[in-house]
Amino acid sequence: MWFHSIGLLLRGVRVTFDLFLLQLFTGVALGAIYVLVALGLSLIFGLLTIVNFAHSQFFMLGAYVGAFIMGFVGNFWLALVGVPIVVGLIGMVCERFLIRPLYGRGIDYPLLLTFGLGLIILEIVRMLAGTAGIPFGTPPSLSGAVDLGVFFFPKYRLFLIGITAVILVGLWLFLERTSYGLIIRAGARDQEIVQILGIDVSKVWLVVFGVGIALAGLAGLLAAPIRGVFPEMGVPVLVEAFVVTVVGGMGSLFGAVVAGLLVGITVSFTSFYFPQMATLSMFLLMALVLIFRPRGLFGRAGLLD
């Protein structure tokens, strides 16, 4: 069969179908985190035209807020509810007082502001929580592996895939099926007309920014049991999130989902065949996509013009 011909590439190791599936699943679980981070980034860019360089620091903040809640109540599920609320509110305060004065001033103003904001968040966390990081265990009910018939897979990563799917469906319903979602989509198309219709657009932007940041915070919490909690945990995430949004198309939510999974799977299979190339592979993928589709897979025209 076809996967046996792939197997020939790997000297000395027999690639069986279950191994292939395991690698694929691992890639999807890895992609789930990419999707969540890129989704918030893409939401904010697509609707507000803000390139949020502080996104990865809100990711880190989410993990810290989660560790803090866990320290108090010791319940992961409560943290799962609390983190997006707390981090989202912090994001809304940032939008209201820092970013709002910059609307209509060109794309580089909020870019520079969020870049600085990210550094400030990082230093504040270092000052308050220390540079060493906090251990963060997998919640007991989700630790260990589960037998999927063909292979064993970590329960937590399975949960990660599931919750990402739930969040995606929830977000889609919110944007497509509620009147608030309608206003958001209308506001992104034509801000002026929406304003003429008597809708306070600034409130819409506030909520959109809050939701985007809440997603980043939630992704941070979900990544914490795998990667641990430390001040610099956001740094590689920003790069990964930008790769995913660029591959998917800046501002496209559907693109962020497809590209997130695609990047996860690409990294996973590269790790299998050429482990040294694993980190590089996502950038090669990005270069390839940009050659053939300069706006990314599902990018809209004119957003950056």
Q: How far is the CB of 279 from another protein (least distance, A)?
A: 6
Phi, psi dihedrals of residue 71, rounded to the nearest 5°: -65, -35
- Residue 152 or 174 having the CB closest to another protein: 152
At 95, which amino acid appears? E
Q: How far is the CB of 182 from another protein (least distance, A)?
A: 38
Q: How far is the CB of 73 from another protein (least distance, A)?
A: 20
Tell me the helix, strand and coil percentages in the chain, rounded to 5: 75, 5, 20
- Residue 19 or 163 having the CB closest to another protein: 19
- Residue 53 or 230 having the CB closest to another protein: 230
Q: Is 296 left (phi over 0), alpha (psi -120 to 50) or beta?
A: left
- Residue 131 or 141 having the CB closest to another protein: 131
Structure token digits, residue 230: 């430390």
Q: Which of 253, 224, 55 has the alpha carbon at shortest distance from 133?
A: 224
| Interface with another protein (CB under 8 A) | 10, 12-16, 19, 22-23, 26-27, 29-30, 126, 131-133, 135, 137-138, 143-145, 152-154, 156-157, 223, 226-228, 230-233, 236, 267-268, 271-272, 275-276, 278-279
- Residue 89 or 278 having the CB closest to another protein: 278
- Residue 45 or 269 having the CB closest to another protein: 269
Q: How far is the CB of 79 from another protein (least distance, A)?
A: 18
List, in order, residues 6 or more apart from 252 with CB less than 8 Å away: 42, 46, 296, 297, 298, 299, 300
Contact 33, 236 (CB under 8 A): no
The Cα-based distances of 191 to 19, 197, 204, 259 in angstroms read 51, 10, 10, 28
Q: How far is the CB of 80 from another protein (least distance, A)?
A: 19
Structure token digits, residue 139: 């919640």
Q: How far is the CB of 261 from another protein (least distance, A)?
A: 14
End-to-end alpha carbon distance in the chain: 48
Instruction: Quote the distance between the C-alpha of residue 262 and its chain's center.
Output: 14
d(CA 216, CA 175): 18
- Residue 81 or 146 having the CB closest to another protein: 146
Q: How far is the CB of 57 from another protein (least distance, A)?
A: 15
